[in-house]
Amino acid sequence: MELLKQRIRKDGVVLPGNILKVGGFLNHQIDIGLLNEIGSEFAHRFIGSKVTRIMTVEASGIAIACITAQYFNVPVVFAKKSKTSNLSGDPYVTSVKSYTHNTTYDIVVARDYLQPTDSVLLIDDFLANGCALEGLAALVEQSGATLTGAGIVIEKGFQRGGEGLRARGVRVESLAIIESMDPSTGIVFRD
Amino acid sequence: MELLKQRIRKDGVVLPGNILKVGGFLNHQIDIGLLNEIGSEFAHRFIGSKVTRIMTVEASGIAIACITAQYFNVPVVFAKKSKTSNLSGDPYVTSVKSYTHNTTYDIVVARDYLQPTDSVLLIDDFLANGCALEGLAALVEQSGATLTGAGIVIEKGFQRGGEGLRARGVRVESLAIIESMDPSTGIVFRD
């Protein structure tokens, strides 16, 4: 998605340790016009696929999931990052490792909001090691719903998450795939 | 907002301890159509007011803020709940007490995303004790921006947050104000 790549080149900041800051438009301050272009592109890529629900994980996936859901006319459900007193019943739960924060946390979805009859599109801002997306896929599997695929805004193609998911048959559509990046020489996108 | 009140009556669950669960449509599973009605109503109520930025706090405010921002044609900025390695510089920060979780946490906004020239509309799902909203207002004040007001989906009118904010001149527009609620007798809305 050329518009997105241009924006990443213009406003993204590459830091040592393979960190790409896109807080200026994607996950701290949010450019809603750009998000609409992103949502429209996901709709285009998944045209003809059955999607009854869009799923993401808090917090930065929520904005993208909600704007995208307008193009599919389906509800959003977002997984919460730990059990809260407000989640009654027996929710779907799985563990996710975070390399960024060097920790492990649970993600949780209430049983009512994922049904065996659902076809679920996962949406997230980043795909790197794939831990968050694998966690979401595990929740879909627990529920018996069908995993239609995953729509990712920025994939770090030099990390292994996308490869692993595609190898086991998950359809992953990433709007910008970074082949390599470096604070001094900048970003190289995969064609 | 009658549509919202009907939905709360239909799908909201009142639990002991003044807990109202609206995870079926507002803050776990999200009805995007309803959110569009909510965004449109906020735009109607703040018509003629200057708004250059919509601000909320992760996680459940993000969905409402982003859909609402489409009616104002402005960017969203969401405060993060703790300092992360990705927030460089010298961010605006303040402490927020959570009565729900009986804890205190920091909320943080990078300096770049709030300017003294901004007119900020705060958006959140709930207003109860007002701690989160007071925290957001404190960040706006630190930045030197103007606080245009606050748009709240559900206010617990029997708690003191709304009263306190209005008493010191903050314009608070709540789409549904709960006068009282009880697991056995249900919800009474303020007229």
Q: What is the mean pLDDT of chain A?
A: 95
Q: Which of B23, B75, B84 sits opposite A29 (nearest CB)?
A: B75
Q: Is the dihedral of CA A42, A45, A48, A54 positive or negative?
A: negative
Chain B hits for A87, Cβ within 8 Å: 23, 28
- The rounded distance, in Å, linking the Cα atoms of B79 and A98 is 21
B56 pLDDT tier (thresholds 50, 70, 90): very high
> How many other C-beta atoms can be found within 10 angstroms of the C-beta atom of residue A82?
11
Q: Average pLDDT, stretch A164-168? A: 96
Going by pLDDT thresholds of 50, 70 and 90, the confidence category of residue B191 is confident
A chain contacts of residue B113, beta-carbon cutoff 8 Å: 23-24, 28-29
Could you give the CA distance from residue B104 to residue A70 in angstroms, rounded to a whole number? Answer: 35
Give the ipTM. 0.95
Strand partners, A188: A180
Q: What is the model's pTM? A: 0.96
Nearest beta carbon to residue A28 from set B21, B29, B78: B78
Q: What is the pLDDT of residues A28-50, one digit of tens each?
A: 999 999 999 999 999 999 999 99
Q: How many Cα atoms sit within 13 Å of B48 on the Cβ side?
A: 1
Domain boundaries, chain A: 2-189
The C-alpha angle B86, B90, A188, rounded to 5 degrees, equals 35
Which tokens sit at A83? 């059990």
CB-CB: which of B21, B59, B101 is closest to A58?
Answer: B59
Is the CATH code 3.40.50.2020 the one for domain B2-189? Answer: yes
> Distance between terminal CA atoms of chain A?
10
